Amino acid sequence: MLKLLIVDDEVTIRRGLAMSINWEKYGVTIAGEARSGATALEKALALHPDIVISDIRMSNGDGLWFIRQMLEFLPRTKKIVLSGYSDKEYMMEAIKLDVNEYLLKPAGTEQILQAVLKQRDEILLERQRERQSTRMENIINENIDIIKAHFLRKLLEKGMTAQMIKQKVLSCSARLQGPLYALFLAFPRPGRDWEMIQIISSRLEKYSPELVTIREGGVIAAMLNVKENLPEEEILSLVEQTASMEDPMFLPCYGGAADLESMHGLYVSLSEMAARSLWFQGPCLTAQADLRFGEIQEEDLFAFERDIVQCVQTGNFTAISRDIDDLLDLLKQVKPAYTVFQDIFFGIARSIQMFSDNIDIYAKLSERFNEAYTPGDVKETFLSALNNDYSKYGYQIKNTLNFMMENCAGDLSLTDTAAAMYISPGYLTRLLKNKTGRGFNEWLHIIRIDKAKKLLEKTGLKFYEIAEQAGYSSYKIFSEHFGRIAGCSARVYREKICMTKKPGAAGRRPDAPEKS
């Protein structure tokens, strides 16, 4: 029930208003009556009525005074004023006092009822809104940590406007007051995130840090309030303390921001650096404004992949090692993320398994990538897997093929090769045939044509010059064997297959006159 206080110096009017309407039917109860402003104020302060009906001009003249007092002490009470036509001066004053309803005398019962019901409805609506607001406030207070974490993640991962940031900082009571800011990112091992959070929070407490985990605990972000310089010494000391908890494939990193709007850009920059920790040294990475990462061209990767597969097919272990070194040099320049780095080597491994008998290289790379590694470790794993594949032919054949690769440009014979291996020509013939299914001459042509392919790809030499450097004195014989082994002529190979070349290779001269 809402409480109604009736104020009028005429008892008949007071009694009439109280008795002529069934107020309880409308959810209103008569809390009291008063014949003067002073008495009305005393009762109002004791009863706290929701609605007041008051004559503006009573015999003692204190109607306006009462309204003023109500505005000061009970401003939320709804005020309905009764006045006569001759009370215009009083009426204007009442308007200034922000009364809720004005009724001219003589006002009928129905008119007064409707005025009260209007104020009743407004009060009920206000109370409903207050309950909703209180309920929402309680929900927010109960879930403030979750709401704050959501705000911090959105600030870092997506960015927000300055106005929205200001609102969220206030509503979440986030300790982000500046004047400047720093962002520290750590990458805990699985299961070590909570322990690391406790240490970071404790060690950086004087910077009033706000911490949040991102990507299901894979990243811990600490936003710090700083005055001038970044807390480099504290961060390096912190990194040293938490080293055993860090994911070894990610280096912790930090940087500074002039305002909270810049946090998103800083987070993206630091995340990109951290994903490329493979290419950096040191215990911790610092944001670099001018640092840019390149992109790997598909044609470059295709050229490397093709070369390595061809070398695997011919058993050119030395060339494989050289190609991987060249590939790693290129990757070091563009610094791809570790996921891209892994995809590149997985792609090469798949091609090797598709075009050769090696079925272990992909699995061995997977094992290596499940642990901490460096580019050098990956090369070692790669070569080790291929070396084991070659070793199925035996140590003597491996050495024989390597000798033939190094000397194929000359007039190499079975007798010379056997002598270099300290075995007889007949034994070498049987060894090659029994172990590899190919004889000496077949291997020699495969190795020479492989060398010719490299020269076609990487130089602008004429065809007959390539034939000579590959070990063929007759261009006709070279063409026959090239077509048989490569499946196309040397000209077609250069024009259609070798449209790409690796960075740093000698410039090709497609317009140079060539002998066919």
Domain boundaries, the chain: 2-137, 145-286, 298-393, 395-497
pLDDT of the residue at 308: 87
Tokens 């215009």, residue located: 88
Q: Is the pLDDT of residue 214 over 60?
A: yes
pLDDT of the residue at 265: 94
In degrees and rounded to multiples of 5, residue 271 shows phi and psi of -65, -40
Terminal CA-CA length for the chain: 108
pLDDT of the residue at 216: 73
Where do the H-state alpha helices sit in 204-316?
232-241, 263-275, 298-314
CB of 196 closer than 8 Å to CB of 242: yes
pLDDT of the residue at 172: 87
The predicted model gives 128-135 an average pLDDT of 85
Q: Is the pLDDT of residue 498 over 70?
A: no
Q: Is the pLDDT of residue 114 over 70?
A: yes
Report the alpha-carbon distance of residue 38 to residue 46 in Å, rounded: 13
CA atoms within 13 A on the CB side of 407: 13
Span 395-497: which CATH code? 1.10.10.60
The predicted model gives 237-262 an average pLDDT of 92
Q: Which of 372, 371, 319, 327 is nearest to 347 (CA)?
A: 327
Q: Is the pLDDT of residue 317 over 80?
A: no
Q: Which of 23-32, 80-89, 374-383 has the lowest mean pLDDT?
A: 80-89
Report the alpha-carbon distance of residue 105 to residue 62 in Å, rounded: 18
pLDDT of the residue at 87: 64
- Residue 407: is it exposed, middle or buried by C-beta count within 10 angstroms (0-12/13-18/19+)? middle
Between CA 133 and CA 140, with CA 138 as vertex, the angle to 5 degrees is 95
Q: Is 337 helix (H, G, I), strand (E, B) or coil?
A: coil
Q: List, in sequence order, every beta strand (DSSP E) within 308-428.
A: none
CB of 414 closer than 8 Å to CB of 433: no
> What's the mean pLDDT when you consider all of the chain?
85
Residue 313 DSSP label:
H
β-pairing verdict for 101-104 and 51-55:
unpaired
Q: How far is CA 80 from CA 95, 305, 336, in A?
A: 11, 89, 75
- Token output for 74: 């009970």
199 — pLDDT class (breaks 50, 70, 90): very high
Handedness of CA 60, 64, 67, 71 (dihedral sign): negative
pLDDT of the residue at 59: 66
2-137 classified as CATH 3.40.50.2300: yes
Q: Is the pLDDT of residue 516 over 50?
A: no
pLDDT of the residue at 179: 93
pLDDT of the residue at 78: 93
Sheet with 2-7: list strands edge to edge.
28-34, 2-7, 51-55, 78-83, 101-104
145-286 classified as CATH 3.30.70.100: yes
Report the alpha-carbon distance of residue 173 to residue 483 in Å, rounded: 76
Q: Is the pLDDT of residue 412 over 60?
A: yes
Q: Is the pLDDT of residue 390 over 60?
A: no
pLDDT of the residue at 273: 93
The predicted model gives 292-306 an average pLDDT of 86
